[in-house]
Amino acid sequence: MSDMFLRSRAQFDRARNSLAGGVATAFRAVQEPVPICFRSGHGARLWDVDDNEYVDYALGFGPMLLGHSPEPVLEAVRRQLERGIGFGASHELEAELAEAVCRTVPSAELCAFSSSGSEGVHAAIRIARAATGRNRVVKFLGHYDGWFDPIHVGVPGQACKQPGTGGQDPAAAAAVTVCPWNDPDALAAAVDTDVAAVIMEPAAVNCGAFAPRPGYLQQARQLASQAGAVLIFDEVITGYRLALGGAQQLYGVTPDLTVLGKALGGGFPISAVCGRADVMAVVADRRVSHVGTFNANPVCASAAIAAISELERSAEVVYPRLESYGAQLAELFRGEAQAAGLPVVVNQIGSAAYGFISDKPVSTYADALDSDAGAYRRFARALLAEGVHVIPRGLLYASTAHQDEDLELTRAAVRKAALKTAPVRH
Ligand code: PMP
């Protein structure tokens, strides 16, 4: 049988000689049978170096909410490229972008920009510590808030608080209390008057696309306020994706600080921490050092302004469409796979979803840990052979570029891939 990944394999072999691990981000290494090497992307489709075409549900790990290479973003970026790539100084677009964020995100009164979600979270924690004069941070088991030392513990895949990485400063990890999410009693016990920040994904997408239980975010809001702690919503995934104003708009709970990334930049690397003016004051009055050569880079800022404008212009149509596509996608994954004998379970919140292979519903993080992750990775591999690209861990993202014909292609692919995937536990 011919090998459809011949050039991807050759590229991986070549990369390993000079690029540590052969991939630029460790998450990419788990793709079977080999990390796919892509050549181009447009709309909902990707093409790899072997000329295979895929319907893409990975979407750059989330940023491509408008699809790959969306024209309004490209147009804005081209215009900016002609004017200058970066000045390391003020430019008109940074205020314009901050205004757009403050206009669209309910909690945002002041913003500060960085380049990645991890940096945005790092800044948010530092701001919370400076604003409260406290050190302890409460985060949630299985939530992912970036890879920096002060927060990278109890990450997706871990069953209890553990360091997220070798080389981590034990003192940084020791300052974090890891709490089970969606558990009102555990939250009440964890949030005390020594807590600087409570940080959570307001919809726990990274560990299984779990929605908050009714009243849970309100409880977090109340407990944080009572304890004088800063409530941070890590909306790096949910921002601009679940609604124009993110999960805080969808669920009607306003945090003190919000971290945005991914979809904010329309595919370009930019992130923001934004929130209450009196909390963000520690940045404004320079008690907190918030710096970075590329902060609010004009090319990235132009892309973000274009992405937000596009979403603002079309919000009434786009968000119901994303919800509808997400629901249909989840339903066809479940239906077609189960018809083929593979017990696929999908949790879905708007255009973010998470697939598992499990013979029972996956309603908690413990259920997620109990699912057959190895079988899902093999299912993801079988999907590649049928022209569908998904994140092997289970995440599924839809974009505004996905069309009915993509759904139909996906339906046939899921049926065939499921037939080839036997759920054998390792
Ligand atoms: N927070 C959340 C909720 C995320 O999903 C991610 C990235 N997957 C991050 C923070 C970190 O963002 P980045 O990879 O851009 O550093």
Q: Which of 144, 234, 391 to mutate to test the pocket of ligand 1 (most atoms within 8 A of CB)?
A: 144
In a domain, 425, yes or no: no
pLDDT at residue 11, rounded to an integer: 96
Closest among 162, 124, 168, 161 to 147, alpha carbons compared = 168
* CA-143 nearest atom, ligand 1: 3
Q: How much is the pLDDT for 2?
A: 83
Q: Are residues 307 and 359 in the same domain?
A: no
Check residue 424 and give its pLDDT.
58
Q: Which of 206, 84, 213 is nearest to 151 (CA)?
A: 206
How many structural domains does the chain have? 2
Same domain as 50, residue 185: no
328 with 383, same domain? Answer: yes
Which of 119, 237, 241 for mutating ligand 1's site (highest number of atoms within 8 Å of CB)? 237
Q: Note down the domain range covering 396.
A: 6-68+315-420
Token pair in block for residue 399: 């974009």
In which region does residue 208 sit, left (phi positive, over 0), alpha (psi from -120 to 50) or beta (all else)? left
Pocket of ligand 1 (CB under 6 A): 61, 116-118, 121, 144-146, 201, 206, 234, 236-237, 261
Instruction: Looking at the structure, tell me whether residues 119 and 257 fall in a common domain.
Output: yes
The closest alpha carbon to 66, from 222, 266, 325, belongs to 266
Nearest CA to ligand 1 atom 12: 117
- The pLDDT of residue 28 is 84
Q: Do 304 and 321 fall within a single domain?
A: no
What torsion, rounded to 10 degrees, do the Cα atoms 352, 272, 178, 184 define?
A: -60
* 116 CA to centre of ligand 1 in angstroms: 7
Domain of residue 57, CATH code = 3.90.1150.10
| 365 found inside a domain | yes
Residues whose CB falls within 8 Å of the CB of residue 313, separated by 6 or more in sequence, listed in order: none
From 118, 205, 210, the mutation candidate for ligand 1 (largest count of ligand atoms within 8 A of CB) is 118
Judgement on whether residues 302 and 324 belong to the same structural domain of the protein: no
Alpha-carbon distance of 345 to 335, in angstroms, equals 9
**What is the whole-number distance in angstroms between the Cα of residue 135 and the centre of ligand 1?**
22
The pLDDT value given to residue 29: 84
| Ligand 1 atom with the shortest distance to the CA of 121 | 10
Residues 86 and 137 in one domain: yes
The position carrying tokens 């075409």 is 53
Is residue 154 within 8 A of residue 177, CB to CB? The reply is no
The two structure tokens encoding residue 21: 């691990």
Which atom belonging to ligand 1 lies closest to the Cα atom of 271?
15
In-domain check, residue 426:
no
* In-domain check, residue 285: yes
Index of the ligand 1 atom closest to the CA of residue 118: 16
Domain-located, residue 207: yes
Same domain, 124 and 54: no
Domain end, chosen from 313, 344, 361, is at 313
Task: Give the number of the atom of ligand 1 that is nearest the alpha carbon of residue 116.
Answer: 15
**339 CA from centroid of ligand 1 (Å):** 35
Do both 331 and 302 map to the same domain? no
- Asked about 139 being catalytic, the answer comes back as no
Pair 197, 274 in one domain: yes
CA distance linking residue 137 with residue 257, whole number of Å: 14
Structural domain includes residue 75: yes
Catalytic residue among 144, 251, 365, 376: 144
pLDDT at residue 426, rounded to an integer: 47
pTM: 0.98
What letter does residue 159 receive in the DSSP assignment? S
Residue 225 lies in a domain: yes
**If the chain, 426 residues long, is cut into consecutive pieces of 10 residues, what is the mean pLDDT of each piece?**
92 95 87 95 98 98 98 98 96 98 98 98 98 98 98 95 93 96 98 98 98 98 98 98 98 99 98 98 97 97 98 98 98 97 98 97 98 97 98 98 98 97 64
Active site residue 262: yes
Report the separation in Å between the CA atom of 421 and the middle of ligand 1, taken as the mean of its atom positions. 30
The per-residue pLDDT for 425 is: 55
- List the strands of the sheet with 395-397, edge to edge: 344-349, 352-357, 395-397
- Name every residue whose Cβ is closer than 8 Å to that of residue 335 and which is 6 or more positions away in sequence: none
pLDDT at site 184: 97
DSSP string, 343-397: -EEEEEETTEEEEEE-SS---SHHHHHHS-HHHHHHHHHHHHHTTEE--TTSEEE
Identify the domain boundary among 295, 313, 331: 313
Asked whether residue 331 is assigned to any structural domain, the reply reads: yes
Query: Looking at the structure, do residues 48 and 141 belong to the same domain, yes or no?
Result: no
Catalytic: which of 57, 262, 372, 406?
A: 262
Boundary (domain end) residue, out of 313, 345, 363: 313
Ligand 1 atom 13 nearest Cα: 117
Judge if 236 and 331 occupy the same domain. no
Bridge partners of residue 177, in order along the sequence? 138
Alpha carbon of 62 to ligand 1 centroid (Å): 9
What local confidence, expressed as pLDDT, does residue 423 receive? 60
Distance 261 CA to ligand 1 centre (A): 7
234 labelled catalytic: yes
**Selection from 392, 312, 423 nearest residue 61 by Cα:** 392
CATH number of the domain where residue 225 is located: 3.40.640.10
- How far does the centroid of ligand 1 lie from the alpha carbon of residue 93, in Å? 24
